[in-house]
Amino acid sequence: MDYFPVFLDLKKRRCLLVGGGDVATRKGRLLVKAGAILRVVAPQISTELRELVQQCQGEMHLREYHGSDVDDCVLAIAATDIDSLNQVISQDAKAKYIPVNVVDSPALCTYITPAIIDRSPLVIAISSGGESPVLARLIRAKLETLIPSSYGKLAQFASRWRERIKHRFADTDQRRRFWEKILQGPAAELVFNGQDAQADTLLSDAIHQEDDSLTRGEVYLVGGGPGDPELLTLRALRLMQQADVVLYDRLVSDGVMELVRRDAERIYVGKRRSEHAMEQENINQLLVDLALQGKRVLRLKGGDPFIFGRGGEEIELLAQHHIPFQVVPGITAASGCAAYAGIPLTHRDYAQSVRFVTGHLQDDSTNLQWPELAEPGQTLVFYMGLVGLAEICAALIAHGRAPDTPVALVEKGTTRDQRVLIADLATMAQTVADNNVHGPTLLIIGEVVKLHASLQWFSPAQNPVDSD
């Protein structure tokens, strides 16, 4: 290790900043954020840097650098583009044992600055030892997406409770285990969701009554999107990686399942049309049972849990048992398939509204409000419409929608096997019969389908078939 990492407390401490351009301004911004008092020396100083000096009640000297400028400072930064001057500043600071950084000249520095991720009070610093600052910044960008901005709130929450918990658990091991539970359990989820008061109550109950609230499980009802794992939300991914057990069904793609924590127990609960690996009531009960065992249960569903997903039913029973749960929306099949097939669901010229309709009714009929659905100027998206497809098209025509209204059938939308069949109300049933179609499929009906030909982008579909 070439450098020893430290975090400096600069609050109310004077720091010398030589230079008044962009680089100096960036450094000044960070120093002020950390509570430092600036002493800026440069013949010209940017407007923002002047404001920063005012803000921290610092000093500004519009002149060349003098050797005595480093006096009384705890830190020095040389951000000028004159090499000889940078060298002098570095020597002066070193002679007085003041840590000095010369921007972009590691050889002149006694310390270097890392790339940082600021979730104050949580701060992550990444350094390549000055060898490749760009690499450090790339790593930072990766971590930025992985670490939710709400982690700062969690650290603040932890800090508020630190003393009380230290008091409660004298034993350090015990204390560490307690914190591990808090920072990964329901209390943390409450903080992430902005429910600080509830999180406080949970913690204070846990400390005072030694009840089970911290070992209680919870359920995450998560929308896994239509197939492409890149369509997951950051929150979905985070919860998938902390779950102890996952209940998933057929619509959840392999790519998405790969992102679930490796050692999580996996339970397949089926849901193919008429082939239910597990009845809905049993799924609801299983969620409750697992959570009561203290598990963090991930209920992973295709698309969005609240769109034809029976998500509402699954959380009803949880609510009755006072089991903490959260619902994470996902990209529904209509959005995913439409985007990947280049079909905007609404369009100023063609469709002023869009309807998501189920093609599979509870009593196995497709007894819908056909007159309304046949109205022009709207896009219809049928979920679970493959079995009743011929009936759906015929009913729309019978109720007045033009037989040449374009229809798209998207098979396995957003996955690598996506296929798009284009026909119209009069011909789609035959097109499907000719093309050996397998589910899941989505039907998009309306004038917007015309745009598919021109708006099809480079999509993951390997062999899109257009058959009109």
CB of 216 to ligand SAH, least distance (A): 28
Asked if 55 and 105 touch (Cβ cutoff 8 Å), the reply is: no
Q: Which is nearer to ligand SAH, 25 or 414 (CB)?
A: 414
Q: Which of 271, 295, 301, 412 is catalytic?
A: 271
CB of 223 to ligand SAH, least distance (A): 7
Site for ligand SAH in 407-446 (CB under 6 A): 410, 412-414, 439-442
List the beta strands (DSSP E) in 155-259.
Answer: 218-223, 245-248
Q: Which is nearer to ligand SAH, 255 or 302 (CB)?
A: 302
- End-to-end C-alpha distance for the chain, whole angstroms: 65
Residue with tokens 């929450």: 157
Tokens found for residue 401: 């929608």
Cis bond leading into 106, ω under 30°?
A: no
β-strand partners of 265: 245
CB of 78 to ligand SAH, least distance (A): 57
Q: Which is nearer to ligand SAH, 307 or 407 (CB)?
A: 307
**Rounded (10°) angle between helices 22-33 and 47-55:** 20
Tokens found for residue 114: 């890392």
- The CB-nearest residue to ligand SAH is 303
**What gap in Å lies between CA 90 and CA 113, rounded to an integer?**
15
CB of 414 to ligand SAH, least distance (A): 6
Buried/exposed code over 305-317 (b: 16+ C-beta within 10 A; e: otherwise): bbbbbebeebbeb
Q: Among 186, 217, 224, 226, which residue interacts with ligand SAH (rule: CB under 6 A)?
A: 226
- Single-letter amino acid code for the residue at 71: D
Q: Among 221, 337, 374, 420, which residue interacts with ligand SAH (rule: CB under 6 A)?
A: 337
CB of 307 to ligand SAH, least distance (A): 4
249 flagged as catalytic:
yes
Site for ligand SAH in 381-400 (CB under 6 A): 383-384
Q: Which of 249, 301, 304, 424 is catalytic?
A: 249
Site for ligand SAH in 168-207 (CB under 6 A): none
181 flagged as catalytic:
no
Site for ligand SAH in 284-313 (CB under 6 A): 301-304, 307-309
Q: Which is nearer to ligand SAH, 39 or 299 (CB)?
A: 299
CB of 296 to ligand SAH, least distance (A): 22
Is residue 238 close enough to count as binding ligand SAH by CB under 6 A?
Answer: no
Measure CA 235 to chain center: 5
CB of 439 to ligand SAH, least distance (A): 6
**What gap in Å lies between CA 443 and CA 411, rounded to an integer?**
9
Q: Among 25, 80, 332, 378, which residue interacts with ligand SAH (rule: CB under 6 A)?
A: 332
DSSP string computed for 76-118: EEE--S-HHHHHHHHHHHHHTT--EEETT-GGG-SS-PPEEEE
**What gap in Å lies between CA 76 and CA 59, rounded to an integer?**
14
User: How many residues at the interface with ligand SAH, by CB under 6 A?
Assistant: 23
Asked if 17 and 77 touch (Cβ cutoff 8 Å), the reply is: yes
Binding site for ligand SAH (CB under 6 A): 226-227, 251, 301-304, 307-309, 332-333, 337, 383-384, 410, 412-414, 439-442
Residues with active-site annotation: 249, 271
